[in-house]
A and B are shown apart, each in its own frame.
Chain A
Amino acid sequence: MEIAASKVIFYIIAAAILFFALLSVTSKRILRAATYLFIVLISTAALYFLLNYQFLGAVQIALYAGGIVVMIIFSILLTSHAGQKFEPVSRLKFFASLLAVLVGWALSLWVILSHPFVASSKEAVEVNMDSIGKALLSYDRNGYVLVFEVISILLLAAMIGAIVISKKQPGDGETNPDNSKTSK
């Protein structure tokens, strides 16, 4: 029973992921697209929960759904009207992309399905906050302290970079900085 239940849940989640992902890239309204993306990310988190990776699911929700999507929605609100509709893409571009994607998709699926993956029968390690926290800060064979530090620096750099890039520079957006005062 349990087996069947988890299978059903997986298919529901998988269907939701694919359906909303598809909607997210085809929706004509940008805010809806963001919402669909949000649903996809939440569903992915559900998938992690299904696999019993609670920490990862929590990170997924907190960072992806909570952080990135909110940031995207902010930028949408900054740059677009909420109800703005997209013009349809050009037909040639649409079909060219579709062809490339379908071919790639079929190729990948064929490879995946034809490859015999052998599931490991080893004892699963307990994945909880405690082990993850220790592994992150340990410097032995299975430790990630170096990567952790690198990521910290990356995040700092990205933060500074984002501030510097988006800072309004004199003359930005104006055709001629000298005329900015008089033209306003």
Chain B
Amino acid sequence: MQMSFQFTILIPLIPLISFLIIGFLYSKMSNKLAGIWGSVSIFSSFLLSLFTAYRYFFEVGRVNGVYPKILGFDFEWLRFSDSLSAHLGTLIDPISVMMLVVVTTVSLMVHIYSIGYMKGDRGFNRFFAFLSLFSFSMLGLVLSTNIFEIYIFWELVGVSSYLLIGFYYEKNSAVAASKKAFIVTRFADLFFLIGILILSFYTKTFDFISLTDPSNIAVMQTGSITFMGLSVTTWALLLIFIGGAGKSAMFPLHIWLPDAMEGPSPVSALIHAATMVVAGVFLVARLFPIYALGSDQALQVIGYVGAFTSLFAAVIAMTQMDFKRVLAFSTISQIGYMMVGLGVSGYGNEAGLGYMASMFHLFTHAMFKALLFLCAGSVIHVVHTNFINEMGGLRKHMKITHITFLIATLAIAGFPGFSGFFSKDEIITAAYHNNKIIFYTELLVAGITAFYMFRLYFRVFWNQEASYEHKPHEVEKTMTIPLIILAFLSIAVGYIPFGNFISSDSMPLESHINWGVASASIIVSFTGIIIAWVLYKKPSNLPERIVSSIKVLYTWAYHKFYIDEVYLFVTKKIIFNLISRPIAWFDRHVVDGAMNGIAWTTSWVSESIKGLQSGQLQKYALAFVSSTIILSALLIYILLNV
């Protein structure tokens, strides 16, 4: 029985309407009304998403053993040719439904949290308008039916991210960070666009359903041509992956995410932890059948980039002192995990474990990372500093935040029984089956993750109590309730039999915990936790001594391996000086010069001949008489010589 999913169009539309209403009635609305309005809107989207999930997974269920891909809503927007047209609509399939639930859940929590967090801020209404805009864009992105539509929402998400990072626009650093984020992701999107064009040129379609149809892919493979040793498919997919890497902050396009922490903490929780940054993962997952069946090389690249990024970001995270930056690098590292999951996955059955694990990790990570950021927001809200060496001993003052943060930390560290353990373990298992190098890397990263997260935890909530200007206190209810809900989810979502819902080919995938691999990762995690315990539980000079013994390495990591400086060097010194300046000179002097020259000449000529129109009748008469005489003379001359 075909169930109607027409209503799914409402899920992104409600936040859009909310954005328009809050935006237009910006100065008319009271803060309270705007906050409640935004939250109620996203709550209705949330309910609709849950309903969609229920209807999709349980009422529609499997058709011929697989979950069908359903076009909930579809209309033709642009018709390029008879065979190629751009549609707008909603596509309902397991991952989009999962993403709907993730996005609306986190967004709802963040909305509620923000009512407390942003209280008294001058830009309160603006904040909620932007949050609604972002929710709309993100929901549109996950529901996109075709690669063209996803690109539109992709850019919309980028814009709302830009607006929210630069929310405190009086701060220069916030402005710089928002520009950086926008430019870096936009730069990556350029490749995404090229990839879209190549892919659609060779497949003659934008549509996800036909793009990811395995029978279609085979056709595309045989008919493809090669370029520089790689097939066109591989090139297109790699270019699309670059776009995804830009949004998901994969190395070397990760540089914008740590700076994006200039935005308000709820924004970091929503955009830069749970939803937007996983858009790249979602994109690859969306096109996964092509990656898996069409191009092994592209998938390998994704796996290695993900593995390297996760290690790289984890190492940096160990050294950072800024609370939110640690979490930012942790996010980069965790997204690296998800990429690894996709990279080591195959298509169908047991080989598709990585895909399932990646989506699972996306799901769990969204919950606990949003929680971490919201806790960080609470802490920063209370102690008015971002630096963890100015914190300490907060467990006595902020009990709820402490407990929820501990839960989230255990979840991300992969402590058995918490959600992160299940999802991360499955990724590592998938890597174990597929690629040993990546497997060991990820195992190591699991330990480092446990270490830096507990470093953070012990440093902030235990250790020596810092001297605070005001005595720390627990934050208000609108902020703690989301924390509690998310903490509950951080534990509970691990027990969802995820393979039943999402797998690479939509067939049920029974995942068992591989106790060999699991025990290895548990041991590594515990090691990390214990090291953190020893070093940071109580004030000691041990960390300093360790740091000074590996001074060079520490400094490099602390400065994020100087990637930002490399970028600055490349852009400012090389691109600006060698390419942009000559082009600017050419533009200013040659192109503009030619145009100005034409205008100047015209002006000069008209200026110099306008004297002819003097209004002096006799000059006209003289011209008339002399011309008549000359013409007569000519006529006579001609007549005489005929």
Contact = CB atoms under 8 A, between A and B. Distances in A.
A100 B627 CA distance: 9
Nearest to A110: B636
B222 interface: no
A107 B622 contact: no
A101 to B, nearest CB: 8
Contacts of A107: 629, 632-633, 636
Contacts of A91: none
Nearest to B624: A100
B625 A111 contact: no
Interface in B623-638: 625-626, 628-629, 632-633, 636
B302 to A, nearest CB: 83
Contacts of B626: 100
Nearest to B623: A100
Interface string B594-638: 000000000000000000000000100010011011001100100
Interface in A46-72: none
A103 B632 CA distance: 11
A97 B636 contact: no
Contacts of A100: 622, 625-626, 629
A100 B630 CA distance: 9
Interface in A94-120: 96-97, 100-101, 103-104, 107, 111
Contact of A103 (B618, B622, B629): B629
A114 to B, nearest CB: 10
A93 B633 CA distance: 22
A160 B628 CA distance: 34
Contacts of A101: 625
A88 to B, nearest CB: 15
A97 B632 contact: no
Q: How many of chain B's residues touch chain A, expressed as a range?
A: under 10
B629 A104 contact: yes
B636 A111 contact: yes
A100 B628 CA distance: 10
Nearest to B621: A97
Nearest to B625: A100
B150 to A, nearest CB: 70
Contacts of B618: 93
Nearest to B627: A100
Nearest to B629: A104
A96 B629 CA distance: 13
Nearest to B619: A93
Contacts of B622: 93, 96-97, 100
Contacts of B628: 104
Contacts of B625: 100-101, 104
A103 B630 CA distance: 9
Contacts of B632: 104, 107
Nearest to B628: A104
A119 to B, nearest CB: 24
Interface in B463-509: none
A145 B395 CA distance: 124
Interface in B192-239: none
A96 B622 CA distance: 8
Nearest to A108: B632
B619 to A, nearest CB: 8
Contacts of B636: 107, 111
Contacts of A103: 629, 633
Interface in A104-145: 104, 107, 111
A169 to B, nearest CB: 23
Nearest to A105: B629
A59 B628 CA distance: 32
A108 B629 CA distance: 9
Contacts of A93: 618, 622
Interface in A34-55: none
Q: Which of A97, A100, A103, A107 has the most CB of B within 10 A?
A: A100
Nearest to A89: B618
Contacts of A97: 622
Interface string B501-541: 00000000000000000000000000000000000000000
A103 B626 CA distance: 9
A101 B628 CA distance: 11
Interface string A73-105: 000000000000000000001001100110110
Contacts of A96: 622
A108 to B, nearest CB: 8
A103 B629 CA distance: 8
A161 to B, nearest CB: 20
A158 B145 CA distance: 83
B624 to A, nearest CB: 10
A57 B119 CA distance: 110
A107 B629 CA distance: 8
A101 B236 CA distance: 82
A57 B632 CA distance: 32
A97 B623 CA distance: 10
Nearest to A99: B626
Contacts of A104: 625, 628-629, 632
B601 to A, nearest CB: 28
A91 to B, nearest CB: 14
A149 B392 CA distance: 118
Nearest to A111: B636
20 contacts: A93-B618, A93-B622, A96-B622, A97-B622, A100-B622, A100-B625, A100-B626, A100-B629, A101-B625, A103-B629, A103-B633, A104-B625, A104-B628, A104-B629, A104-B632, A107-B629, A107-B632, A107-B633, A107-B636, A111-B636
A-B residue pairs, 7 tightest by C-beta? A104-B629, A100-B626, A100-B625, A103-B629, A107-B633, A97-B622, A96-B622
Interface of B: 618, 622, 625-626, 628-629, 632-633, 636
Given A93-B618, A107-B629, 5 more contacts: A97-B622, A100-B625, A100-B626, A103-B633, A107-B633
